[in-house]
Structure 1
Amino acid sequence: MNARTAPIAAAVLLTVALVGCSPTAPSDGSGAESSASADPSTSPSESATPRPVLTPPTITMPTDCRAILSESLLDLLADVPLNDKAFAPTGVQDDGSLICAWGDPKADTTGLVTTISVVPREEAMADLNKLAEDDGFTCYQPDAGVRCEKTWENEDYPVTDGRTLYWRDDVLIDTKYSNLAPPGYTADIAVHLFGKSTPAPTPTTSPTPTPTPAA
């Protein structure tokens, strides 16, 4: 394992560990589970094959791209058009997700697009692991969520492109950007969605120093 592979492997292990975590409290050996299965009102087939429970997001999905940002972030984006029709589709989608596109359609590269959507834990962890393993994204755990990020040089212009993803409580904030990376952008959105601070520390698993990402 070379110097570059090791940090990526650590990121993969980080998210895989999250997949294995149970969303419910583990059994403490008190016998509560066995007494429940012994209930004569429960048939053997029902107790042997529990039905999956679909858990909706614990937050209200946002519908306004400006309302999810603080005044300081909005000030940084004051001169950048939002949801120009050239970037359609934007705004609230049929599935309840929200797409926010900041950028001037006349600009060659400068802009960012954020999609906020409902993504179940298993699906999200599989996708984030794949980004870490196959594409060299750095993943870590700020606060109660999982964040993966990567930056690279634009192929046509001397600017930095990147992508940052933050998943928490079945909600994914996914931002792709080029030459537009407001500091603390995704952390700011997370604060507005989840109601508590979501710091974005410098990743200790990054193989090389990277510019401050947008999300």
Structure 2
Amino acid sequence: MTATPTPKPRLQRRVLGLSIAGAIVLALGAVGAGYVVGLDATSSAAESAGVGSGESPARPAPESGAPVAPLPEPSTEPVSLVPADCSGIYSTDWSTQMDGLVLNPAWSSESGQPAIIGSSDEELEATLQAAAPLTCRWGNEQGGSDRALVTNVAQLHGDQSEASLARMNAIGYDCYDELGGTRCIVESKDDNGTWGESHFLRDGVWVATRWMNIAPDGYTHDIVNTLWP
């Protein structure tokens, strides 16, 4: 007689995916880049309850006369797109286009180093700093130089996005719709060379980049397409 095969237990799967926004540094040497996080988790238990298909799980019928507890209100807190570290904001190896600059050189995290922010405007800088952004710097491995780039990725709240865009327009940044968000840029020259800023805001996330004497083509687009694939 042939033995009936024992059914294999169903495996649960849990998928964790990381996905986010930049600003750029100047000041002879510091640099940056940012990152975004997306979380998607599923399980066989959730699937069986209809969660994965967008259906609400069935509630058991209450006993006669028993009060019915209301369902909890869904969270309205937006999911942060800001990643945990700088590896999440790029799909391109920018080290080959940075003319010898390295990402987050060791000296940039030493005690006493000033905060590097992706805007030179005091009002925009204050908003970025208050948001505790992810900071990614491209700088000379040995220390200061006349080339640098920094990118901040920050999660904004309330009307901070609108207020920041209004400030950029007010001080003469060139702002326009791009890639599902708003892009604002400024560029100038002085005795130290050419410097500029590139800002991208979408879904409450601010990618602020500030650069001096180095601005790789397609840099901001790569960050945006990585954070919002």
Shorter-chain TM-score category?
Answer: 0.5 to 0.7
Partner of 2:162: 125
| Residue in structure 1 matching 2:194, options 160, 166, 176 | 160
Distance 1:64 1:78 in 2: 23
| Residue in structure 2 matching 1:183, options 203, 213, 217 | 217
Partner of 2:143: 106
Root-mean-square deviation (CA, aligned residues, Å) is 2.7
Q: Which runs of 4+ in 1 moved over 4 A?
A: 93-96
* TM-score under structure 2 length normalisation: 0.53
Note if 1:70 corresponds to 2:91.
Answer: yes
How far does residue 77 in structure 1 lie from its aligned partner after superposition?
3.0
How far does residue 72 in structure 1 lie from its aligned partner after superposition?
4.9
Distance 2:107 2:201 in 1: 28
Considering Cα pairs closer than 8 Å and 6+ residues apart, tell me whether 1 or 2 has the greater RCO.
2
User: Structure 1 stretches of 5 or more lacking a match?
Assistant: 1-52, 196-215
| Residue in structure 1 matching 2:77, options 55, 62, 68 | 55
* TM-score under structure 1 length normalisation: 0.56
Report Cα offsets for 1:114-154 as digits up to 9, x if no partner. Answer: 11010136211111211211x21000010210111100113
2:195–2:212 Cα contact (<8 Å) kept: yes
Distance 1:174 1:73 in 2: 17
How far does residue 165 in structure 1 lie from its aligned partner after superposition?
0.7
Instruction: Answer with 1 or 2: which has the greater Rg.
Output: 2
1:112–1:177 Cα contact (<8 Å) kept: yes
Matches within 5 A, 1:1-215: 54-57=76-79, 59=81, 61-77=82-98, 79-88=100-109, 97-104=133-140, 106-120=143-157, 122-133=159-170, 135-154=171-190, 156-157=191-192, 159-195=193-229
Aligned length, in residue pairs? 137
1:58–1:169 Cα contact (<8 Å) kept: no
User: Structure 2 stretches of 5 or more lacking a match?
Assistant: 1-74, 110-114, 117-128
Q: Give identity over the alignment, percent.
A: 29
Distance 2:85 2:99 in 1: 16
Larger relative helix fraction: 1
Distance 1:62 1:78 in 2: 26
